[in-house]
Each structure stands twice: as C-alpha cells, then as structure tokens.
Amino acid sequence: TDPKRIRNFSIIAHIDHGKSTLADRILELTGLVADRDKRDQYLDRMDLERERGITIKAQTVRIPFTAADGQEYILNLIDTPGHVDFSYEVSRSLAACEGALLVVDATQGVEAQTLANVFLALDNDLEIIPVLNKIDLPSAEPERILQEIEEAIGLDCSEALMVSAKTGDGVPEVLERILRDVPPPAGAKEAPLKALIFDSWYDPYQGVVVLFRILDGFMNDGQRIQMFSSKKEFEITQLGMFAPEPQRVNYLGPGEVGFLFASIKDLTDARVGDTITAASNPTATPFPDFKKIQPMVFCGLYPSEPSQYEPLKKSLERLQLNDAAFNFDPETSQALGFGFRCGFLGLLHMEIIQERLEREFQAQLIATAPSVAYQVTTIDGATFTIDNPSELPAREQIEEIAEPYVRMEIHVPNEYVGSVLTLCEEKRGIQKDMRYMTSSRVIITYELPFAEIVFDFFDRLKSVTRGFASMDYEVIGFFPADLVKLDILINGEPMDAMSTIAHRDKAYHRGRALALKLKRTIPRQLFEVIIQAAIGNKIVAKERNAPLRKNVTAKCYGGDITRKRKLLEKQKEGKRRMKQMGNVEIPQEAFMAALSLD
Ligand code: GTP
C-alpha cells in the first residue's frame, strides 16, 4: 500500500470513557466485523479482559476504508492498554502511530488518565483529535467539557467531534477526520529496515508472536531479521496482518503494521520497545527509549501442597512466556516451604497474574502480602535491593533503608479536596502542587511512598471522593525513611511469610491491628493459638484464640441432614485454602491480612 493511503492511529481515553465501544463502532461501520461475529468489545480478546472490562494487551486491526471522495485507505487501529501499570506499553503503542483519537466522556470530563495519555501522545509527536463521547446521555455537558479540555490540555477544540459510541452517532465523521488530520507515515522504502515492536506474546502453537510497525524499509516473508538490543537473528516463518483475523502476506512496506512468527522461543527475545532490523543490512539508529521494564511490586507464591511445586513452576514459566514484565525466582520460606518470589509492575498486574494462574492452570496458591522493593545500605557500606521483607539484615547491621516514592497527580472536584489532602497526609505524602484546572476541578500533586499506595490507596481515594477522583503516578526514585521490620509469631514461631516493613511511627499501631486481624482470620483450632506482633525483639501485640472443643456439626445434632452436609462442605471448602504451619492451620486470607488494615 502507498504510505500516503495509510493512517496509523490509536484511541486514548480515561478508563470507561468509551474507547472499546468506539473501536467496536468503527469496525462495524467499515464492515470489518460481520454481524455474526459481532460481539461487544471485539478487540478485547482474552476472556479475562472481557470479564474485567479492561484492555490488558495491546491489539491492533487493519481496516480498509473507502472515503467519501471514493479513495481507498488503510486505517490501522492500534489499541492501547488502559491502566497505569501498563504505561510503558501504552507509550510504545503510541509510538507506532501518527495520530490519536482523544476520547473524553462528555458527562465526566478530563480525568487523570486522560492527561497522562495525552502527555504520552505528545511525547510521541502525535496529532491529537478530540472526540467527545456519550453525547446521547442527558447529563452530557459538551460545552463545559470542551472548555475543560482546552484549559487543561491546551488543545484546540473548535473542531472537536461529538459522538455517541453507543448509538453510532457521529462515528462516520471520526473516520473522515482521521484521513484529514492524521499525517500519513513518512518512512523511506530504500532505507535499512527499522520496525518497532509494540506488542508480543507467546502462542503455544507458533511460539512468540510479534506485532510491529515498520518505520523504514520493508519486510519479506522468509527474510532474516535481527533484534537490535540483543543482536539475535531469526528467520521469519510467517508474515501477516490482522484484518481482523490473522491473514498471511508476503510483503509489508514502510508505514505498515503487521505481525510475524520467527521460531522465537523466548518472549524476552522480542521485547516491547525493541527495534527489528534486517540481518543483512541492519539500521544504525534504533527506536529511542528502549527499556527493560522493572517490576515494582513483589509477593511470594506458594503451592498449597508441596507436591504442586513443579506444576506451579511450569505454570509460572508458561505465564512468563506471555508477559515479559512478570518475573519470578525460587525462594524458600521457613513457614511456607518452597515457592517463588514474583515481581509485577503494580497491584493490578499482580491480581491479573494470580487470577490467570488459578484460572488457566488450576493452581492452588498461597500468596503472601505484596511488598515493594527496598534499598538497604549496611554499616560496612554495601548497598543492595531486597524484594522480600524477610531478607532485611539484622537491625544493628543497617545504616539506612530507602523506599521507592511516586509522584502522584489526583484530579478531583473541589468539594473533595479536603478529604484527599487528609488521605495523602495519612499516607506520609508530601504535597508538591495544587492547581485549579477549572473553577470546580482541582489537580493535586503529591509525592508518596509507593508502599503506602500499593495497598488500599486507590479504594480509599475512590471512597473518600465518592468515586469522583482519578489518579496517575510514576515512580521517581528511592528515598531514605525510618523503616522497621514488623514480624508475626504464631505460637512463638516467627512466620517469615508474614513479615512486613513499616514506618516506625506506624509500626506499633500496625502490629496491634495486624495481630487482631489475624486472630479473627485464623480459625480456632483444637489447641490454643497465640498470635504476636514484634518489632525487633520487642513484642508489641499479643492475641489469643482459645482452643476449640466441639465438632462443628455437633450443634446441628438431630437437626436437618442437608444443613449438616452443607456445613461439612463449607468446612472442606475452607480447608482447601489452608496452609498447615507447624500444627496450626492458616487460611489464605491471613497472609493478606496486612492488606486490609485501616
Ligand atoms: P476500558 O477498556 O476499561 O479503558 O474502558 P473503555 O474506555 O474502553 O470504555 P468502554 O468502551 O468499555 O465503555 C465504558 C461504558 O460506557 C460501557 O458501559 C459502555 O457501554 C458505555 N458507553 C460507551 N460509549 C457510550 C456512549 O456513547 N453512550 C453511552 N450512553 N454509553 C456509552
């Protein structure tokens, strides 16, 4: 295809502003998705994504389109993931485009992710087309929201499009506007091959699937390619594009978007952000800013039965094939035995991986409470990073502990400013800025310890602002803090898997709350269970669960048999997720108790 007839674009939006619905309408309007294939959110392929209603992996689709003037065009719609955990993937998807539709919900206005995505688009020099969505709703306030976009982003909205992705109103105009305003790709066919990997995943039948955008040069089926960062070479075994189902092609030229298979076994050989070039004539200048993404949140994953260790390992290996941002290493816990320390981009990423493990691999898991990484400097001058609180050296060895901080922007209607400030102060935040985006909406900037927001920050923020706040954050580095290790002992035995690191000012209170919570989550046993929290050698809290004497079913004696059976079944259900530690049975929830302390 002549590059002049190609348009590569993304849709960017805050969560729930209607990105997927608009993509669906575009596919429908261009006749690409036949009625019988029609299903909501066509681009969200994985079941899990559909259930959660979020887009995790970038997907792309090639849309042939006949414009009003009768000319044929190719529109490549490159979908981007919507959550802050995946912002690097968003940025790479945008780098594969020349333009972006900025979808803003006309009943909601500019939110934190709207701005964050706009900045990523501007960083990539994209043409941004403002699109007001949901204008079918009676509560839509297009005039006010357009003004908000102009003020907050500085984007000219005089020609903003008004659409209802739900009814399809205004969607044809969106397509014509893409043709008019998004520049065609500018690559040179004669230059050495340079293609950007903006997504890759593992397919059990084909190996690694690579999605790419060609900037310069061209690609032929069967040709030898080189990955710029590793210099590893592969031979293309299949070249293709999504139309929207995979379709094989022999050749792709500059500006085109496609996929390839090349017998790549390991996802780390085809990392998002890397440059593909030709083995025979490699480019000298790769795409800038290729980075290996670092996990920020860690937790232990243990099989509930020791015999499940190998199956769990296999499952983790398979999952990693599909997610280069997820990593794991073997670890041993005195309390839990053999398991794995796993690293994630953020909490959402962690939840998704855990869910996939249980769903796709039927693994029975004990997960420990998540933790961030800490930088420890010892008195003999060594500095290293730990991703498990139990690795913290003895107190007298430690010179300094530093923890990761984030810079966070929170968008909120002004009546909730007070509650947000209170929350951020409680989370040890340092206020950096506060400005009015409009007379009624405020952007508050804080620097906060990452550990404080990993847990329940987002839920708390939503609840103190009745759902009206949105946020976005980036990690800014490690800063020293007065941190201590909080240990849990059960019947005198330290439970290493329950250790956490806390700020000294909060550790005492936290220890007491945690012990109490554990008392409530650990069921009574046939013997007395003593739960203690300790900071160093000092016990700061002690709780006791009295021994249980009676059989659970005893109280139904003589009663209804189905009720008795139900009770027994319930007991069995609970047991499945228990972990025997010494002779105490501890349910999965207990390991997560640290997550839900007030
Ligand atoms: P993420 O993929 O989670 O980022 O969300 P999204 O931006 O793709 O939003 P999605 O398309 O899932 O839409 C969110 C909700 O808004 C859904 O319930 C849609 O049915 C609804 N919605 C989308 N567009 C419109 C619209 O034009 N009018 C109305 N009334 N509802 C809409």
Pocket of ligand 1 (CB under 6 A): 13, 15-21, 53-55, 82, 133-134, 136-137, 164-166
> Looking at ligand 1, which residue's alpha carbon is closest to its atom 22?
18
Of 16, 39, 167, 470, the residue with max ligand 1 atoms within 8 A of its CB, to mutate for a pocket test, comes to 16
DSSP state of 362: -
At residue 102 the predicted structure's pLDDT band, cuts being 50, 70 and 90, is very high
At residue 50 the predicted structure's pLDDT band, cuts being 50, 70 and 90, is very low
Distance of CA 17 from the midpoint of ligand 1 (Å): 5
Tokens at residue 205, please? 């039948």
Distance of CA 19 from the midpoint of ligand 1 (Å): 6
pLDDT at residue 535 tops 70: yes
pTM for this predicted structure:
0.74
At residue 58 the predicted structure's pLDDT band, cuts being 50, 70 and 90, is very low
For 419-443, what is the mean pLDDT? 92
What distance in Å separates the CA atoms of residue 345 and residue 175, rounded to the nearest whole number?
A: 35
Q: 412-430 burial, b if ≥16 CB within 10 A, otherwise e?
A: beeebbebbbebbeebbbe
What DSSP letter does each residue of 153-197 carry, written as one string? H----TT-EE--TTT-TTHHHHHHHHHHHSPPP---SSSPPEEEE
For 75-101, what is the mean pLDDT? 82
Task: Name the strand (E) or helix (H) holding 490.
Answer: strand 483-490
What distance in Å separates the CA atoms of residue 247 and residue 220, rounded to the nearest whole number?
A: 15
Atom of ligand 1 nearest to the CA of 23: 11
Distance of CA 95 from the midpoint of ligand 1 (Å): 25
What distance in Å separates the CA atoms of residue 163 and residue 42, rounded to the nearest whole number?
A: 19
Of 14, 21, 108, 111, the residue with max ligand 1 atoms within 8 A of its CB, to mutate for a pocket test, comes to 21
Give the chain's mean pLDDT. 85
pLDDT at residue 278 tops 60: yes
pLDDT at residue 424 tops 80: yes
Proportion of the chain above pLDDT 70, given as a percent? 87
- Count of other CB atoms within 10 angstroms of residue 200: 24
- pLDDT of 580 reads 63
> Looking at ligand 1, which residue's alpha carbon is closest to its atom 4?
15
- pLDDT of 235 reads 96
User: Between 88 and 5, where is the model more confident?
Assistant: 5
For 215-223, what is the mean pLDDT? 95
For 403-415, what is the mean pLDDT? 92
Distance of CA 16 from the midpoint of ligand 1 (Å): 5
Distance of CA 24 from the midpoint of ligand 1 (Å): 10
Annotated binding-site residues for GTP read: 16-21, 133-136
What distance in Å separates the CA atoms of residue 11 and residue 325, rounded to the nearest whole number?
A: 23
